[in-house]
C-alpha cells in the first residue's frame, strides 16, 4: 500500500483490489482566512465525521484504495453535487457550502458572506479534485477487474433533532433505494449488519448522498454503497474522543461488511459473463 500525499486537497492510498473507500467528511482543515469569518462554535467543527479514518485503518488487509478529504465539509461538502441539488426533497439540507450547522447554528459571523465567486473557487480547488480522483480510480479498477466497488464511509451524531427524530440506528446503509447497487450485493452487506450486535436499517433516513448516487451505476458494473454510522458506536460524543475498545468491536463488523461486499460483487459479476 503506497501513501500518496501531494498538493491535492485529499490523501490517497492505492490498493490492488476492486474496492475504493471514500471518506469525504473526516477532514479538519479550513481554507486560508476562513477561520476569521467563522463563529466560535463552528470553529469546533461539530459536524465532522469524527475518526472515520481510524475506523477503516484495516483497509490494507482488504487491499482497498482509500481517498480521504483533508478539508472540512464547511469548506465544501463533497457529498453534494456541484450544482447543489437537494438530496432529499422533504428534509433539511445544509448545502454545498454550508451556512448553518446540523443544529441550525450560524457557521459564519453576521458580517461574512459567501458569494458565487467564492463558491466557484471552492468547487474548483476542493470539490473537483476529489471527484476527478474518484472517477479516475473507479475507471482504472473497472478496466483491471471488469467492475469497481465504491464504499462511501460516514458517521454522524446519534441524536440530531434538527435533521431526524429520535435515536439514529447504529448502522445505516444506503444504495439510493437499490439504484446504486444490485439487490444481491446489498443484501449480502445488510445481512452482516443485521446479524451483528448493532441496530441496522437500509435505505431509510440515509439513502446515500451524491457520491453514492452519482458513481453507483450497476449497468456499468460500478457498485456503490454508503454507510452512515451513529457515533455513539465508537466514541464519546460529549467529549469528542475516540473509544478504542468500542471501535475495535465495531471494526470487526465493518470488515465483515466490506468482505461481504467484495465477495458478493465478484460472484454477481461472474454471473454476468
Residue closest to 169 by CA, chosen among 231, 244, 246: 231
Radius of gyration of the chain (CA): 18
Grid cell in block for residue 239: 467529549
Domain range enclosing 236: 2-271
Paired sense of beta strands 222-230 and 148-156, if any: parallel
**How confident is residue 194, by pLDDT bands cut at 50, 70 and 90?**
very high
Q: Comparing 94 with 68, which gets the higher pLDDT?
A: 68
What confidence tens digit (pLDDT) does each residue in 238-268 have?
999 999 999 999 999 999 999 999 999 999 9
CA distance 146 to 141: 7
Region 224-231: mean pLDDT is: 98
Residue closest to 226 by CA, chosen among 150, 148, 120: 150
pTM for the predicted model, two decimal places: 0.94
Confidence (pLDDT) at 88: 56
Confidence (pLDDT) at 7: 82
Confidence (pLDDT) at 3: 47
- Provide the CATH number for the domain around residue 108: 3.40.630.40
CA distance 23 to 169: 20
Domains of the chain: total: 1
Region 182-201: mean pLDDT is: 98
What confidence tens digit (pLDDT) does each residue in 79-121 have?
999 998 766 566 566 789 999 999 999 999 998 888 999 999 9
Amino acid at each position: 500500500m503506497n501513501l500518496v500525499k501531494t498538493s491535492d486537497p485529499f490523501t490517497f492510498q492505492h490498493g490492488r483490489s476492486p474496492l475504493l473507500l471514500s471518506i469525504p467528511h473526516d477532514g479538519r482543515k479550513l481554507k486560508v482566512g476562513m477561520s476569521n469569518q467563522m463563529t466560535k462554535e463552528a470553529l469546533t467543527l461539530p459536524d465532522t465525521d469524527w475518526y472515520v479514518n481510524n475506523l477503516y485503518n484495516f483497509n490494507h488487509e482488504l487491499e482497498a484504495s482509500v481517498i480521504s478529504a483533508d478539508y472540512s465539509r464547511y469548506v465544501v461538502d463533497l457529498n453534494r453535487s456541484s450544482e447543489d441539488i437537494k438530496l432529499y426533497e422533504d428534509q433539511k439540507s445544509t448545502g454545498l457550502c454550508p451556512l448553518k450547522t446540523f443544529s441550525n447554528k450560524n457557521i459564519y459571523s453576521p458580517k461574512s458572506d459567501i458569494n458565487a465567486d467564492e463558491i466557484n473557487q471552492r468547487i474548483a480547488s476542493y470539490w473537483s479534485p476529489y471527484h476527478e480522483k474518484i472517477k479516475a480510480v473507479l475507471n482504472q479498477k473497472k478496466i483491471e477487474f471488469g467492475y469497481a466497488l465504491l464504499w462511501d464511509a460516514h458517521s454522524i451524531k446519534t441524536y440530531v433533532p434538527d435533521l431526524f427524530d429520535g435515536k439514529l440506528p447504529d448502522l445505516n446503509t444506503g444504495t439510493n433505494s437499490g439504484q446504486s447497487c444490485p439487490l444481491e450485493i446489498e443484501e449480502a452487506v445488510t445481512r452482516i449488519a443485521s446479524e451483528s450486535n448493532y441496530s441496522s436499517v437500509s435505505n431509510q433516513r440515509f439513502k446515500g448522498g451524491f457520491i453514492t448516487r452519482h458513481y453507483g451505476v450497476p449497468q456499468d458494473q460500478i457498485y456503490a454503497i454508503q454507510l452512515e454510522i451513529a457515533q455513539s458506536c465508537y466514541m464519546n460524543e460529549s467529549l469528542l474522543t475516540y473509544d478504542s475498545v468500542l471501535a475495535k468491536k465495531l471494526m470487526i463488523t465493518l470488515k465483515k461488511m466490506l468482505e461481504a461486499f467484495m465477495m458478493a460483487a465478484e460472484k454477481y459479476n461472474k454471473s454476468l459473463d
